[in-house]
């Protein structure tokens, strides 16, 4: 309700001259209002569509009361839309000129390649990935090759293995997951990572950096999780402060890291910060993994495949899900005794997964 | 949703998880995880994607039923028509 | 090498030019007694006297015309137009006389004139005093257009411009005057033809000039944290454009964004984009992006002016959008 006179405090709406749904243009007369000075026409100052009226004809309302809602034409520009593969009417997504040229060279059909560029366009990287020759994969392979060569040349590795009964973990996970929606469900890996991270608090000689001839302990426990990239290559980005994250947080962070590792959008801090690496290769069907330490780290923990096996409980043989845990560590910094205590500590923690 | 649309939807989510794979060569009755080298984390991402796209939450007890492509399609078809 | 401000670099070039060649003189509004609207000529009147450092009346058309005449007569004038905004009053002199007389005289006349202008927005000087019209000048055959973005270029490009037999227009972004960098205050004339890669990168090429260089470099730092490696190119010469440097970069990165403080429509960025399309079409993995000022007369209110201009955050967004699902 406009103030149609300096001393006007209220006005009575007489009639609407436009109906909801009608387009209004700036300057149109939209209503008639009765004031002390007589009937006055009310004009609008915006253009758009009259969405709804808020005051009935006959009602007297104070100046300033909203009378109607107008949906303006235009408005704020939309934020950049999340790109989705949008096929053209012929059913083909756009292909960048560079990608099309490379596809021709490599004998790849660009129409069959999934695009990750703006508006679902097929890009160079998409074509490379489809042909099995990921550029990022190659760069990364070379980096990994250099790191493991140096590792085997300079670090005296010792290896310890330990079989752990994951019965309590499996039972606990089944109970947890029964009531959880899929997006919040947990997998074994998250529990294993937490057990390793927490146990490391007592074993600083396994969470250190080898620099200039000595091991410098690191206060933070940033567990690097080995993630294989689908076009070949391996990254082990850090789960920062893994010992302080809950199992839930470790799970969601792991999902995020895997997603971004595959998309190539890991942050440099994630790649440079791991203080130890954990590799969980059991899914590929091997029962034991002997890791290669990534310098300047001084240890790497491995987990193999969870298999149902014979286990002795209270003098009797039962079937339990068993996993083979291994530690490869730098013998200049720790010895087998400490390594063994570490793995035993991890096993202890996995007996009570609810307390992790 | 037709069986074909359902199939396209599932393959779409799978393409997200294994972008380099040639899904036209996926054996429909063999376990997906083995054929596409999908580990437990990727399998979670697959199920989360199915849930986001089709609003079907596959509980852990039913994981065995959805191990193959045909198994997944049958299961989703039943859930969606229920 | 010493730490020098952009303003001091300009002043040192003016001083050395005035000392070295008696034909050189400086002319413009407030260049003498006031020491220059941006203090670029502070102390020069005292050192060289009123014949060499001349305060002019408030008439751009007159004193730019006089500069053209002086150049025709064998002098080496440096005409300072306080800002590009006021140069509009001298456009006829620049476009119809300075740019054309060599051509129209069949080569008999040359105009070795250097015009320096402050340019750009960011100090709440509002609609009439915030233009970035480098693109307009770069449109005109017959003149050379330069945009020094670094302290070293502020000195080197001015000294090199004075050696050219034809008119050179130099744009000094007003926000750059107080910027300090390590530079050689005795360096001679620099190159005025090449674009320079100011930051090396692999994933995207960001092309820019003048006052936007700092923001683009800042955006490149931020993008690095997201895993996007940005190559930043400073155009330096706006006419002629060193397209080769830009194309070579795009052959490597396959993506480009152009950051230009002018308005988008018919901008210098549009010209660079067209050249990229012509020269590197088959190397492009995404459309060339342009980040320019909003298509409005420059606002006065600070938050509106900031929103109208390219900023490191909007540069980051423009680059990130080139990658689709990534970033």
Task: Give the whole-angstrom CA distance, residue A275 versus residue A217.
Answer: 9
Say whether both A62 and A174 belong to one domain.
no
Average pLDDT on C152-175 reads 98
Query: What are the residue ranges of helices labelled H in C101-242?
Result: 101-104, 134-138, 151-161, 213-225
Q: Which chains touch B (3 or more CB pairs under 8 A)?
A: A
pLDDT digits (tens, 9 = 90+) for A154-210: 999 999 999 999 999 999 999 999 999 999 999 999 999 999 999 999 999 999 999
Of residues A348, A354, A38, the one with CA closest to residue A162: A348
pLDDT value at residue A7: 63
Of residues A189, A210, A356, A218, the one with CA closest to residue A293: A210
Say whether both A167 and A40 belong to one domain.
no
Task: State the CATH number of the domain containing residue A163.
Answer: 3.30.559.10
Q: Kindly report the CATH number that applies to the domain delimited by C196-321.
A: 3.40.50.920
Say whether both A172 and A301 belong to one domain.
yes
pLDDT value at residue A148: 86
For a pLDDT cut of 90, what percent of chain C falls above it? 95
| Four-residue CA torsion sign, C251, C256, C261, C262 | positive
Q: What contacts A209, CB < 8 A, 6 or more positions away?
A: A215, A216, A218, A275, A296, A297, A298
Say whether both A27 and A62 belong to one domain.
yes
Which residues in chain A are closer than 8 Å to C327, comparing Cβ atoms? 265
pLDDT at residue C75 above 90? yes
Task: Give the whole-angstrom CA distance, residue C146 versus residue C143.
Answer: 10
pLDDT digits (tens, 9 = 90+) for A332-354: 999 999 999 999 999 999 999 99
Residue A79 lies in a domain: no
Strand, coil or helix: C78: strand
Residue A4 lies in a domain: no
Band (pLDDT 50/70/90 cuts) for residue C327 is: very low
The verdict on a CB contact (< 8 Å) between A83 and C254 is: no
Chain A residues within 8 angstroms (CB to CB) of chain B: 114, 116, 126, 129-130, 132, 134, 174, 177-178, 181-183, 185, 187-189, 230-231, 254-255, 258-259, 262, 283-284
Domain that holds residue A198: 156-355
Task: Give the whole-angstrom CA distance, residue C130 versus residue C98.
Answer: 25
Task: Give the whole-angstrom CA distance, residue B64 versus residue A71.
Answer: 52
pLDDT digits (tens, 9 = 90+) for B66-77: 999 999 999 999
pLDDT at residue C211 above 50? yes
Task: State the CATH number of the domain containing residue A109.
Answer: 4.10.320.10
Residue A286 lies in a domain: yes
Band (pLDDT 50/70/90 cuts) for residue A321 is: very high
pLDDT at residue C149 above 80? yes
Average pLDDT on C143-168 reads 98
Task: Give the whole-angstrom CA distance, residue A182 versus residue B26.
Answer: 25
Give the pairing type, strands C196-199 and C230-234.
antiparallel
Tokens of A328: 């490869």
Phi and psi at A165, nearest 5°, equal -80, 115
Chain C residues within 8 angstroms (CB to CB) of chain A: 224-227, 254, 281-287, 317, 321-327
Q: Is C139 a catalytic residue?
A: no
Say whether both A51 and A126 belong to one domain.
no
Say whether both A271 and A332 belong to one domain.
yes
pLDDT value at residue A82: 47
Residue A172 lies in a domain: yes
Stronger pLDDT, C149 or A286, i.e. the higher one = C149
Task: Give the whole-angstrom CA distance, residue A183 versus residue A252.
Answer: 9
DSSP string, A104-171: HHHT--GGGSPP-SGGG-B-HHHHHHHTT--HHHHHHHHHHHHHHHHHHHH--EEEEEEEEE-HHHHH
pLDDT value at residue C124: 94
Say whether both A117 and A214 belong to one domain.
no
Tokens of B1: 């949703």
Which residues in chain A are closer than 8 Å to C322, comparing Cβ atoms? 118
Could you give all domains of chain B from N- to C-terminal order, each with its CATH number? 3-21+32-81 (1.10.1200)
Average pLDDT on A256-269 reads 79
Average pLDDT score over chain C: 96
Which residues in chain A are closer than 8 Å to C254, comparing Cβ atoms? 96, 98, 124
Looking at chain C, which residue has its C-alpha nearest residue A269?
Answer: C225
Average pLDDT on C139-145 reads 98
Task: Give the whole-angstrom CA distance, residue C149 versus residue A342.
Answer: 58
Give the lowest-confidence range in B16-30, C84-98, C251-265. Answer: B16-30
Say whether both A123 and A17 belong to one domain.
no
CB A1 within 8 A of CB A67: yes
Task: Give the whole-angstrom CA distance, residue A259 versus residue A265.
Answer: 9
Domain ranges of chain C: 2-183, 196-321
Which residues in chain C are closer than 8 Å to A266, comparing Cβ atoms? 227
Chosen for mutation from B12, B14, B17, B19 (greatest number of chain A CBs closer than 10 Å) is: B19
Of 3.30.930.10, 3.30.465.10, 3.50.50.60, 3.40.50.970, the CATH number of C2-183 is 3.40.50.970
CA distance A233 to chain B (A): 14
pLDDT at residue C326 above 50? no
Selecting among C8, C29, C80, C129, the annotated active-site residue is C129
pLDDT at residue A283 above 50? yes
Residues in chain C, total:
327
Stronger pLDDT, C228 or C167, i.e. the higher one = C167
Say whether both A31 and A177 belong to one domain.
no
pTM: 0.56
pLDDT digits (tens, 9 = 90+) for A211-233: 888 999 999 999 999 988 776 67
Band (pLDDT 50/70/90 cuts) for residue A12 is: confident
pLDDT digits (tens, 9 = 90+) for C24-67: 999 999 999 999 999 999 999 999 999 999 999 999 999 999 99
Residue A164 lies in a domain: yes
Chosen for mutation from B12, B32, B44 (greatest number of chain A CBs closer than 10 Å) is: B44
Band (pLDDT 50/70/90 cuts) for residue A36 is: low
Task: Give the whole-angstrom CA distance, residue B55 versus residue B1.
Answer: 13
pLDDT digits (tens, 9 = 90+) for A120-141: 888 888 888 777 655 555 666 7
Is the ipTM higher than 0.95? The answer is no
Residue A271 lies in a domain: yes
Domains C2-183 and C196-321 share a fold: yes
Residue A1 lies in a domain: no
Q: Give the one of B15, B41, B48 whose C-beta lies nearest to A189's C-beta.
A: B41
Say whether both A46 and A172 belong to one domain.
no
Which residues in chain C are closer than 8 Å to A264, comparing Cβ atoms? 227, 326
pLDDT digits (tens, 9 = 90+) for A51-102: 888 888 888 888 888 889 888 866 544 444 444 444 444 555 789 999 998 8
pLDDT value at residue A91: 53
The verdict on a CB contact (< 8 Å) between B57 and A255 is: no
Task: Give the whole-angstrom CA distance, residue C198 versus residue C220.
Answer: 11
Of residues A266, A307, A291, A320, the one with CA closest to residue A140: A266
DSSP string, C207-263: EE-GGGHHHHHHHHHHHHHTT--EEEEE--EEETT-HHHHHHHHHHH--EEEEEEEE
The verdict on a CB contact (< 8 Å) between A258 and B60 is: no
CA distance A99 to chain C (A): 6
Which residues in chain C are closer than 8 Å to A96, comparing Cβ atoms? 254, 284-286
Count CB pairs under 8 A between chains A and C.
61
Say whether both A329 and A186 belong to one domain.
yes
pLDDT at residue B55 above 80? yes
The verdict on a CB contact (< 8 Å) between B20 and A178 is: no
Q: Is C254 a catalytic residue?
A: no
Looking at chain A, which residue has its C-alpha nearest residue B55?
Answer: A182
pLDDT digits (tens, 9 = 90+) for C218-242: 999 999 888 889 999 999 999 999 9
* H or E stretch at A14: strand A10-16
* H or E stretch at C292: strand C289-293
How many domains is chain A built from? Answer: 3
Say whether both A125 and A172 belong to one domain.
no
pLDDT value at residue A86: 42
């Amino acid at each position: 309700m406009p103030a149609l006179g300096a001393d006007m405090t209220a006005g009575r709406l007489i009639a609407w001259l436009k109906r909801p749904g009608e387009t209004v243009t700036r300057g149109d007369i939209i209503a008639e209002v009765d004031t002390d000075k007589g009937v006055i026409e009310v004009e609008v100052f915006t253009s758009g569509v009259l969405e709804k009226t808020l005051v009935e004809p006959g009602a007297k309302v104070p100046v300033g009361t909203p009378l109607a809602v107008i949906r303006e034409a235009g408005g704020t520009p939309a934020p950049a839309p999340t790109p989705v593969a949008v096929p053209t009417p012929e059913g083909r997504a756009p292909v960048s000129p560079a990608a099309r040229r490379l596809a021709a060279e490599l004998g790849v059909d660009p129409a069959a390649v999934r695009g990750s560029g703006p508006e679902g366009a097929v890009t160079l990287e998409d074509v490379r990935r489809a042909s099995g020759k990921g550029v990022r994969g190659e760069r990364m392979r070379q980096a990994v090759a250099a790191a493991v060569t140096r590792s085997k040349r300079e670090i005296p590795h010792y290896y310890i293995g330990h079989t752990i009964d994951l019965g309590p973990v499996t039972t606990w996970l089944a109970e947890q997951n029964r009531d959880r929606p899929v997006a919040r469900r947990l997998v074994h890996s998250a529990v294993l990572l937490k057990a390793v991270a927490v146990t490391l608090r007592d074993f600083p000689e396994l969470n250190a950096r080898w620099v200039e001839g000595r091991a410098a302990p690191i206060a933070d426990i940033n567990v690097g999780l080995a993630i294989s990239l689908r076009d070949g290559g391996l990254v082990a980005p850090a789960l920062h402060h893994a010992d302080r994250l809950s199992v839930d947080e470790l799970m969601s962070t792991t999902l995020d890291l895997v997603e971004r590792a595959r998309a190539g959008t890991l942050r440099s801090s994630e790649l440079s910060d791991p203080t130890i690496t954990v590799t969980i290769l059991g899914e590929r069907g091997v029962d034991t993994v002997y890791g290669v330490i990534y310098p300047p780290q001084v240890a790497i923990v491995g987990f193999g495949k969870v298999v149902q096996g014979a286990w002795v409980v209270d003098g009797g043989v039962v079937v339990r899900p068993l996993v083979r845990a291994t530690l490869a560590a730098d013998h200049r910094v720790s010895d087998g005794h400490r390594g063994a205590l570490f793995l035993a500590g991890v096993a202890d923690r996995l007996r009570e997964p609810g307390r992790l | 949703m037709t069986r074909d649309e359902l199939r396209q939807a599932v393959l779409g989510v799978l393409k997200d998880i294994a972008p380099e794979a040639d899904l036209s060569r996926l054996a429909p009755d063999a376990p997906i995880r083995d054929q596409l080298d999908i580990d437990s984390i990727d399998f979670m991402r697959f199920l989360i994607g199915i849930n986001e796209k089709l609003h079907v939450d596959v509980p852990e007890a039913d994981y065995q039923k959805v191990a193959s492509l045909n198994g997944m399609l049958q299961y989703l078809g039943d859930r969606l028509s229920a | 090498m010493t730490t020098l401000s952009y303003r001091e670099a300009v002043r040192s070039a003016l001083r050395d030019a005035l000392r070295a060649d008696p034909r050189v003189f400086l002319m413009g509004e407030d260049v003498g007694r006031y020491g220059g609207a941006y203090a670029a000529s502070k102390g020069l009147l005292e050192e060289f006297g009123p014949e060499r450092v001349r305060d002019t009346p408030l008439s751009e058309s007159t004193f730019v015309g006089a500069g053209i005449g002086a150049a025709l007569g064998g002098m080496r004038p440096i005409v300072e137009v306080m800002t590009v905004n006021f140069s509009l009053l001298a456009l006829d002199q620049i476009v119809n006389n300075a740019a054309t007389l060599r051509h129209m005289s069949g080569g008999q006349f040359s105009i070795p004139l250097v015009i320096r202008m402050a340019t750009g927005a960011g100090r709440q000087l509002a609609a009439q005093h915030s233009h970035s019209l480098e693109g307009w000048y770069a449109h005109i055959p017959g003149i050379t257009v330069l945009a020094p973005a670094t302290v070293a270029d502020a000195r080197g490009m001015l000294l090199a411009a004075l050696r050219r037999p034809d008119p050179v227009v130099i744009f000094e972004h007003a926000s750059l005057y107080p910027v300090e960098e390590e530079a050689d205050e005795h360096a001679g004339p620099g190159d005025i033809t090449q674009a320079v890669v100011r930051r090396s990168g692999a994933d995207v090429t960001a092309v820019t000039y003048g006052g936007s260089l700092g923001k683009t470099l800042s955006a490149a730092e931020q993008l690095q944290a997201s895993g996007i490696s940005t190559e930043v190119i400073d155009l330096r010469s706006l006419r002629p454009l060193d397209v080769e440097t830009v194309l070579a970069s795009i052959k490597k990165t396959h993506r480009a964004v152009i950051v230009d403080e002018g308005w988008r429509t018919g901008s210098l960025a549009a010209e660079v984009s067209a050249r990229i399309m012509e020269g590197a079409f088959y190397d492009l993995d995404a459309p060339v992006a342009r980040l320019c000022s909003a298509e409005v007369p420059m606002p006065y209110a600070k938050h509106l002016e900031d929103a109208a201009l390219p900023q490191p955050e909007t540069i980051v967004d423009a680059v990130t959008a080139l990658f689709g699902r990534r970033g």
